[in-house]
């Protein structure tokens, strides 16, 4: 697999066209929107040339589609952590490894669990800078007194939708998959 290129896939979902960027090592970025500027920004951050490679993106396309249809509880695609600092990698890696589908953790609990000594407020900033939302499930990190913030998609409403999909929150009257 060419290590100097990044391949992109788009999956239509209830929250919009979710974009995944896949390097030779795995999924390096996801976004709740797709478009030429977003793809250009991700390729630039990776220092890679975009490539048309449907075979490379097939697994993440299938897994994201299954997740948004409520059929996938655990992502198995490889994750490429290269866009994260060591601190982000430790915190987001802890989240990825220890908070399964349908469960949540508070910012403070994740701070303690990660062993980084980072205060809860900084955990929120790390979640906001997560380059691989959905697969690295920053939506599962909540405030001790409510949902907390969310920088993906349509903000907290997208977080609420994802947590409802996963069964953590009850569906509302206007629930629509």
Rounded distance, CA 34 to CA 36, Å? Answer: 7
CA atoms of 45 and 51, how far apart (whole Å): 15
Establish whether 134 is a catalytic residue.
no
Helix crossing, 120-128 with 86-98: angle to 10°?
90
In angstroms, the CA 176 to CA 116 distance is 39
Instruction: Say which of 28, 92, 138, 165 is annotated catalytic.
Output: 138
d(CA 113, CA 107): 10
Catalytic residue numbers, as ranges: 138
């Amino acid at each position: 697999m060419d290590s100097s290129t990044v391949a992109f896939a788009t999956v239509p979902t209830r929250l919009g066209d979710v974009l995944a960027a896949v390097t030779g090592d795995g999924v390096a970025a996801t976004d709740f929107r797709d478009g030429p500027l977003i793809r250009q920004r991700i390729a630039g951050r990776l220092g890679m040339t975009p490539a048309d490679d449907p075979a490379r993106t097939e697994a993440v396309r299938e897994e994201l589609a299954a997740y948004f249809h409520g059929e996938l509880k655990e992502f198995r695609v490889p994750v490429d952590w290269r866009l994260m600092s060591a601190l982000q990698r430790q915190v987001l890696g802890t989240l990825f490894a220890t908070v399964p589908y349908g469960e949540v953790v508070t910012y403070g609990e994740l701070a303690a669990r990660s062993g980084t000594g980072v205060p809860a407020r900084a955990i929120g900033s790390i979640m906001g800078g997560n380059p691989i939302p959905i697969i690295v499930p920053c939506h599962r990190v909540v405030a001790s007194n409510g949902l907390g913030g969310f920088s993906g998609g349509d903000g907290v409403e997208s977080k609420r939708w994802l947590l409802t999909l996963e069964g953590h929150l009850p569906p509302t009257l206007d629930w629509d998959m």
